Structures are given as C-alpha cells and as structure tokens.
Structure 1
Amino acid sequence: MATETSKDELLQLIKRFSAYLTVKISNLFSFNTLDSRSVGAVAGLAVAIVFTWRLLRSNSGPQRRQPKRQASTTSSSVVTTQPNAVSLPSGGVCSSSEDLRVQNVVDEFFQPVKPTLAQIVRQKLSEGRKVTCRLFEVILEESSPEELQIVSQATVRSSVLEVLLEITKFCDLYLMERVLDDESEQKILAALENAGVFTSGGLVKDKVLFCSTETGRSSFVRQLEPDWHIDTNPEILFQLARFIKYQLHVSPTRIERTAANVFSSPSLEQFFGCI
C-alpha cells in the first residue's frame, strides 16, 4: 500500500513539473527570434529533465517498512505506545511544498545570462559586417580639424576603446576624417597605434581615410557601401539615409529621428550599453 502511495505522489509531482515546464517553454518561444540566451536555455532543458527525474526518484523511492512493535500489555497498563510514529503533513501542505520544489528546479535552468560584449555588438549591428565611422567626437577626444592643429597629439577616448576593438574583430571597419594638413593625419595615426587599435589584427592603417571636406567623407561612405555608418554630422546622415542600411548619430543631445534607419546615442559605447 505504501509503495502504491509513493508511486501516486511521484506521478503527481511529475505532472506538476510537466505543467510548469510547459509554461516556461511557451514563454521562451513566444518571441519571433531566439537569442543566444534562449538557445542556451533550451540546451539546458534536457539536463534539467534528467536531473529532476533523478531527484524525484531519490526522494520518492520505496521506503522500507518498519516492523511493528509488540504491544506490551501488563496487568497495570493496557496502553500501547509507538515512540517512532511520525505525523504526516496535510495534503495541501505537501502539495505546496512539491510545487515549490518543481518550480525551483525549473527556474534554476532558466536564469537569464548576461550577454558578452561580442554578443551585444553583433546584436546591435544586426549582423552587419562592414562599418564606416568618423573619428572626431566618436573615437577621438578632439572635436574638429582646427582643434587637432593646436594640440601636440591626438587622444583616443579610453571609454570607447573596448567597443572599438570588438567591432574590428567582427566587422570590416573603416575610420575616416576631415583634416587640414599632413601633420594632423600623422597625429591621428599615432594616437590609434598607441592605443593598440592596429595590433588587434582587424584594422590596418590603410583603412583610416582622410579628406579635406565633409563632402569627401560622404563620398567615402557611398563608395564603400557599408551596412552601418557612424557620424556626428546630421546633414551627412540625412544625405546618406537613402543609401546606407543603418546609421548611428552620435550626439550629446538627443534630437528628433531624421529617418527610420538612423539611430541616436550620446556616444558609441553607450549605444552598446557599456556605460
């Protein structure tokens, strides 16, 4: 009789587990696309089922019967005592405890996993493989060709370096800027080299392009036909909106979106959630 009761309890526990797992899976596949966290959760599902099955078997296995104690009767006492007897909890308490255990086991395998920077870059860039980006106010601290002329050397923004290096690993990146003289070009190349941008293997000096006008930068972008262009000049972004799939407007002040394919962010690193 005890064995049949244990089997019934095990069957009820498995049913609760299946019902709760069904809800989890329906929520997981309610999106149109699955990201890496969802795929990982599905992969862990098989492990969860095996783990839970073993857990339920170990907790609900057949129990040994305790031999009945002989009731000792004497002339002075007719009361039978069972010191090892244990009172069973009510059905409601047992059911609630089992539901909680099942929920905890399933929840453990559906905990959200923080994505890596590489995963964020690929997701944000929508798997785009070619990117063009201006230098001033995005990669460099300097904001104009005139400012670059009066400083002894150009400075790469430290906060953007990690994102920049990750983009070079995944994308064909071209950097471009308007300069006033050859000395400014050398300052920029030296700053990028000192920051280690060229040592990652994804960016070479030949992919750093210079021009003398803003129109020249726009022409570079048109010729390269990137998936993404990153700029601070709203006029250039507006002109290129018809030709480039996606664009990012880097500006400290949020402006009205000029086109559906033009995004906005205070900085490149903030666009990827690094700040």
Structure 2
Amino acid sequence: MATGGEGDTFKQDLLHLFKRFGAFVTFKISNLFSLDARSIGAVAGLAVAIVFTWRLLRSPSGSHRRQQKRQGASSSNPGGSAHSNAAVIPSDACSTSDDSRAQNAVDEFFQPVKPTLGQIVRQKLSEGRKVTCRLLGVILEESTPEELQKQATVRSAVLEVLLEITKFCDLYLMERVLDDESEKRVLLALEEAGVFTSGGLVKDKVLFCSTENGRSSFVRQLEPDWHIDSNPEVISQLARFIKYQLHISPYRTERTAANVFSAPSLGQFFGSI
C-alpha cells in the first residue's frame, strides 16, 4: 500500500497537470471561431495525451507497492536477501524512468503551439476583408515605372504571404506604368509566379494607372480595410481615409499616424522571414 506522502505527491502532480490542461482548453475556447483543422486536431491529441500521462503518473505508485511486497517477502526469508535486494534496484530505476517519461510527455504536449502563417496574416490584418497593395517595391523587385519597361520580377520571399492574403481577403494590386507593354510584363510575371492559380486573385483585380494620384484614387474608391504602399506621400494622403496602412520601406521611418505601420518588407511584417 502506497504511503500518505506518495499519494499526496501523485495527487498534486495530477492536479497540476489538469490545471494546465484546463488553462489550455480555456484559451482555445476563447478563440473558438478562429480554430482551424490543425488546432482542433491538436486539442484532440492533447486529450489523448492526458489519459496516457495519467497512466504513467500512476505507475510509480504501483511500482512502490510491488517493491514493498517484495521487501516484505525478503524479510521473512533471510536466505534470499541478496537476491531480493537485487530485484528491488531495477524497480526503483524503472520508477524513476516512468517519472521522467511522464514529465517529458507533459512538457512536450504543453509546448506553445506555433501559429500557422495564415493565422499570423489574419491576426496582423485584424481580420480585415479587403486589401489594396502597390506592386513596385512591395511585390516586385523593381522600384520605378521606368524599370518595368525592361523587366518585372516577383519577390519570391513575399509570394507565400501574398497567397495567404488572397485566401481570406479581397485583394487588389495596383501600379503606375508608362506604357501598355509594362502592363503585359507585370501580368506575365505575376502569372508565372503562380499568383493567379490560387483562385483568390484574378487579372481583373490588377489595376494600372498613369499617375500616383490615380493610384490614390483607386484606393479611396475601393475603401479597403488595409492599404500597403512604398510611397510615403501616398501613405500620408490616405491616412485619414483608410482604416489601416502598411508602409514598406528599407529604411527605418517614424510612425506618421496611429493607423500607419511600417516594415522593411511584406514578409518581415508578417514574421515569415
């Protein structure tokens, strides 16, 4: 029979385990509507882990009881004392090993779940449903309309983020160009990068204009929750009309308004790099 101290230790370990599990479940319930299949699977797996861990936590008590029975038998048989003591040592080692495995199981399953890129994007955009974004300096490597007359190159580092945005946001891309050939070059680059294959973005949502004021006008007409741009003047002009803005700049800039954020790149803002 287990001693009172061993029983109290087991109860405390089990109580601590369920308290941690309860806190985890409470956190998940508070975010119920944002759970995806992976999160639901994690909760189900965690429940299974609780049962498994509970059994492991019980095993040391069983080992102690078996050990005490063997010790009682050995005391009544002095001749077999050496043999019985040899059997007791592996039992203690197994008990310690069980404790270690149980603690490792608890630590592993209670590690913070790393959010997916999609979850980060939704959180960063504050569940915004419409986004407008400039191409030059944000999606494309080029930074001026003159460069687009020669080539258009999609930044591979932002492609994954861009596709995640299209999964739950109405996304519009826009840029100022100097000729029709530049438009064709941009659309071809986006198509070859696979931007149009996800179904969230179509070519009709890539808008072109001939002036910076034209781009600002596009944004105001669309009334997005977020606008992403690399031109500080456009950001400043739209600050009082758009709920949130993201200024992409390789240089550290001062925050011009409470609703304007800044980052060196789209990927770094969403923490994907």
Q: CA deviation at 1:105?
A: 3.4
Counterpart Cα distance in 2 of 1:96 and 1:169? 50
User: What is the correspondence of 1:158-169 to structure 2 with a 5 Å cutoff?
Assistant: 158-169=156-167
Counterpart Cα distance in 2 of 1:243 and 1:49? 51
Whether 2:187 is the aligned partner of 1:189: answer yes
TM-score using structure 2 length: 0.79
Aligned to 1:75: none
Q: CA deviation at 1:5?
A: 2.0
TM-score using structure 1 length: 0.79
Aligned to 2:16: 19
Larger Rg: 1
- Residue identity opposite 1:181 in structure 2: D
User: What is the correspondence of 1:232-251 to structure 2 with a 5 Å cutoff?
Assistant: 232-251=230-249
Deviation readout 1:142-173 (Å, 9 max, x if unpaired): 21112222x1x322122222222222222111
Aligned to 1:84: 83
Counterpart Cα distance in 2 of 1:10 and 1:171? 55
| Identical amino acids, percent of aligned pairs | 68
Aligned to 2:53: 52
Counterpart Cα distance in 1 of 2:169 and 2:74? 78
Which has a greater percent of helix?
A: 2
Structure 1 residue runs of 5 or longer lacking an equivalent are 73-78, 90-94
- Residue identity opposite 1:46 in structure 2: A
Counterpart Cα distance in 1 of 2:55 and 2:100? 17
Taking a change above 3 Å as real, the CA distance of residues 8 and 39 of structure 1, as seen in their structure-2 partners, is farther
SS of aligned partner of 1:263: strand
Counterpart Cα distance in 2 of 1:174 and 1:54? 55
Aligned to 2:6: 9
Deviation readout 1:77-110 (Å, 9 max, x if unpaired): xx86611343989xxxxx9999766543321211
Aligned to 2:116: 116
Aligned to 1:266: 264
SS of aligned partner of 2:224: coil
Taking a change above 3 Å as real, the CA distance of residues 84 and 264 of structure 1, as seen in their structure-2 partners, is same
Q: How many residues align?
A: 261
SS of aligned partner of 2:158: helix
Taking a change above 3 Å as real, the CA distance of residues 86 and 197 of structure 1, as seen in their structure-2 partners, is same
Q: Which one of 211, 220, 223 corresponds to residue 221 of structure 2?
A: 223
Aligned to 2:139: 139
- Residue identity opposite 1:178 in structure 2: R
Taking a change above 3 Å as real, the CA distance of residues 83 and 144 of structure 1, as seen in their structure-2 partners, is same
Structure 2 residue runs of 5 or longer lacking an equivalent are 90-94
Aligned to 2:66: 63
Q: CA deviation at 1:23?
A: 5.7
- Residue identity opposite 1:267 in structure 2: S
